[in-house]
Structure 1
Amino acid sequence: MKNHFNTRKIALVGMIISTASFNAFAKAEWHYTRSFDYIQQQDSLTTAQFLQQAAIAGMKEVLTGKLAAEKATDKKIKAFGKMMVDDHTRANEELRALAKLKKVNLPMSRPEGELRPDGRVDSSPDNMRDTSRTKNAGGEAGNTGLAKKPTNGATEADVTNAIEKLNNLSGASFDKAYVEMMVADHQNAVSLFERATQSTDAQVKAYAKKYLPVLKKHLKHVNALAAK
């Protein structure tokens, strides 16, 4: 009888901890989404704002995708996480090249595990520099060696917080949280890229038009996972 009581007590404590962790994750994700929405509410979207917010979003998809590929219990969610890493790594590389061309500084720190937004590991764990690409005096636009806070909108700190809270979850709670995160994040990304397709900058417009169908495909895919 005593053993049965202890087992129930342990299970109850586990449920409380799991619920608290999920609530902490939900709060962090809400803050990220609210910050991201700030940009969406602006009357106009500058090239810098689009590039910076797209970089933040792309960084998040790569880092959380890596977590999902490792921690998800559902094989379909694992596969989706890997797809996020592959697709957004390519998109992030092109975004960095575009930012360099436009002389826009992108957030380039590594919120988790020394990972860069494009999914690669920087050569120096002590800073955000990639010295092979910062030989000129001003540094490379897109990677000056310093973390640049986007003009309003979501920040690297928002991403870090959301990822830390997600990483505290496990099992079914992790799967549920990750899928919910991906639904919200891709809704935001689709909205951001739709606005960018109306940009007066031809290259920004072309980039947005190229990756908008990819984001819509991701959203359709993750909506199907959420409906399971």
Structure 2
Amino acid sequence: MRRSQLSSLVVAILPFVVAIPVYAADKPTDSQIAHIAYTAGDLDIKAGRLALEKSKNDSVRAFATDMVRDHAAVNDQALALVKKLNVTPEDNNTSKGLVKQADKKRAELANLSGAEFDQAYVENEVTYHKTVNQALRETLIPSANNSDLKALLQTGLKIFQGHEQHAEHLASTFH
């Protein structure tokens, strides 16, 4: 697949793959927010593991290693927090939509190899982090009622903004 075809494919499918709409008319509850945030992190861990399986590019592998490590650490903190607060994360339309979209994207990435895979993975990571960061800033953090949950989301946002910048830098090496 030529670069222009690959770019067109990525642009065509990204709105369906990485959008994090909050489907509820009302703001999400803390238990829904916890589930959305955990799910988003878990999905990026799975994407990172796929990259570690498929990529031979040292920079892509290092980035994927960072994604797996950092998202696992934040998810571990989230699990500890919901246990401490005795809150049960609540599955919801947003988290279900995330899983469906990410499963589809991982299947598409699994069919690529070499530089095509590397570029598609990194470009997806750029868009994914932009979308997750926007959802954190505009919906999840403002909607969180619990101060500990809000603080964890704010910490996650800082980490994930760094991921976005790292992914953008890495993506620039493919052009």
Report the CA distance shift for 1:31/1:211 in structure 2 as closer, same or farther (over 3 A). Answer: same
1:93 is aligned to 76
Alignment check: 8 A CA contact 1:28 1:161 kept: no
Report the CA distance shift for 1:68/1:152 in structure 2 as closer, same or farther (over 3 A). Answer: closer
2:154 is aligned to 209
Question: Which of the numbers 57, 63, 76 marks the counterpart of 1:80?
Answer: 63
Alignment check: 8 A CA contact 1:57 1:185 kept: no
**1:93 & 1:213 partners in 2: Cα distance?**
17
**2:125 & 2:94 partners in 1: Cα distance?**
22
Report the CA distance shift for 1:98/1:151 in structure 2 as closer, same or farther (over 3 A). Answer: farther
The answer to which structure has the higher helix fraction is 2
Q: Percent same amino acid at aligned positions?
A: 27
**1:180 & 1:40 partners in 2: Cα distance?**
26
Of 51-60 and 196-205, more deviation after overlay is shown by: 196-205
1:192 corresponds to 2:135: yes
Report the CA distance shift for 1:76/1:40 in structure 2 as closer, same or farther (over 3 A). Answer: farther
Alignment check: 8 A CA contact 1:166 1:178 kept: yes
2:93 is aligned to 151
Question: Which of the numbers 168, 189, 200 marks the counterpart of 2:111?
Answer: 168
Alignment check: 8 A CA contact 1:28 1:165 kept: no
Deviation, structure 1 residue 75: 1.1
SS at match of 1:197: helix
Deviation, structure 1 residue 103: 2.3
Alignment check: 8 A CA contact 2:18 2:102 kept: no
SS at match of 2:145: coil
1:149-173, CA deviations, whole angstroms, 9 ceiling, x for partnerless residues?
Answer: x234534222222111111110111
Deviation, structure 1 residue 43: 6.5
1:220 corresponds to 2:165: yes
1:44-83, CA deviations, whole angstroms, 9 ceiling, x for partnerless residues?
Answer: 3432332222122111111111111232232111100001
TM-score normalised to structure 2 length: 0.80
Note the residue ranges of structure 2 that are not aligned, 5 or more in a row: none
Alignment check: 8 A CA contact 1:194 1:208 kept: no
C-alpha root-mean-square deviation of aligned residues, in Å? 2.7
Note the residue ranges of structure 1 that are not aligned, 5 or more in a row: 1-14, 107-147
Alignment check: 8 A CA contact 2:52 2:61 kept: yes
Of 62-71 and 176-185, more deviation after overlay is shown by: 62-71
Alignment check: 8 A CA contact 2:141 2:154 kept: yes
